[in-house]
Amino acid sequence: MICIPVTAHDNETAILRMQQAFSLADIVELRIDSIRNADLKKLLAESGGRVIVTNRRQDEGGCFEGDERARMALLREAVSLEADFIDVEMSTDEAFLQEIHETIAEYRYKTNLIMSCHDFNGTPAYEKLLDIYSECAEKGADIVKIVTFAGTMEDNLVILQLVNHISRLKHDIIAFCMGPKGRLSRIAAPLFGSYLSFASLEPGAQSAPGQLTIEETRAINAILHHEK
């Protein structure tokens, strides 16, 4: 599956970009940390498919400038509005994470919790990546997302080894490398069982370094799967 991240400065632009994205991808990631005064009720009502709501902190590569309680409140609101997925960082304080779990349990509609860990400096050793995965799973993640930075081409092999191992255990994982040298993992990870891959709506709209466009991703997938 392909996910297109949607970033915008206002709600109206976000809705327009979501509509474009849903015509091209399976899932849309709504980056509410980039939207001024994000109106989640309006945004999710206008969605045309499954949505990941992400409210990323600045130290995790996002734009949210408020305090943690305000950030978590928006994610809990997304749960109450029946968002399909929310993305919460592994480093989130345990008390706030418990509130997220309680909110998910409160509603009949099951919002899936993606727990993410980003390393912008490099790719840890395979054993460390396994530890990160285990910690996220122990904290109640439905899907674990591990994103590292590729300083070498070999880093792609490390992350793909992780994806292959976890997917063979029948657990859901999203993992790939950022950066120009990480593009290989973005292409190959779904072939090894990554739950989804990310692609930008258009050139210049990348939400992370090394991200391919949806047009490039679909063209590569067509070649890999022998589609005309």
CA distance 101 to 185: 31
Cross-sheet strand order for the sheet of 85-89:
173-178, 143-149, 112-119, 85-89, 50-54, 27-31, 2-6, 197-198
Q: How many CB atoms lie within 10 A of CB 138?
A: 9
Q: What would you report as the CA-atom Rg of the chain, rounded to the nearest whole angstrom?
A: 17
Q: Which residues pair with 113 in a beta bridge?
A: 86
pLDDT for the residue 228: 52
Contact (CB, 8 A) for 124 and 94: no
Q: What is the dihedral of CA 191, 192, 198, 200, to 10 degrees?
A: -40
pLDDT tens sequence across 86-114: 999 999 999 999 999 999 999 988 999 99
> Which range has the worst mean pLDDT, 72-76, 112-116, 131-135, 203-207?
203-207
Mean pLDDT of the chain: 93
pLDDT for the residue 227: 56
Start-to-end Cα distance in the chain: 19
* Residue partners of 32: CB distance under 8 A and separation at least 6: 38, 40, 43, 53, 54, 55, 74, 78
pLDDT tens sequence across 149-188: 999 999 999 999 999 999 999 999 999 999 999 999 999 9
pLDDT for the residue 163: 98
Contact (CB, 8 A) for 64 and 71: yes
Q: Under DSSP, is residue 51 helix (H, G, I), strand (E, B) or coil?
A: strand
Residue 168: HSE in the Cβ half-sphere, 13 Å Cα cutoff: 7
| 205 pLDDT tier (thresholds 50, 70, 90) | low
For the cut 80, the answer to whether the pLDDT of residue 214 exceeds it is yes
CA distance 223 to 205: 24
One-letter amino acid of 10? D
One-letter amino acid of 98? Q
* Active site amino acids: 118, 145
For the cut 70, the answer to whether the pLDDT of residue 63 exceeds it is yes
Q: Under DSSP, is residue 29 helix (H, G, I), strand (E, B) or coil?
A: strand
Q: For Cα atoms 157, 162, 167, give the angle at the middle one, nearest 5 degrees.
A: 125
> Which range has the worst mean pLDDT, 13-17, 154-158, 218-222?
218-222
Which segments within the chain are labelled E, that is strand? Answer: 2-6, 27-31, 50-54, 85-89, 112-119, 143-149, 173-178, 197-198
Share above pLDDT 90 across residues of the chain, in percent, rounded to a whole number: 83
Among 76-80, 105-109, 198-202, the range with the most confident prediction by mean pLDDT is: 76-80
pLDDT tens sequence across 18-42: 999 999 999 999 999 999 999 999 9
pLDDT for the residue 65: 86
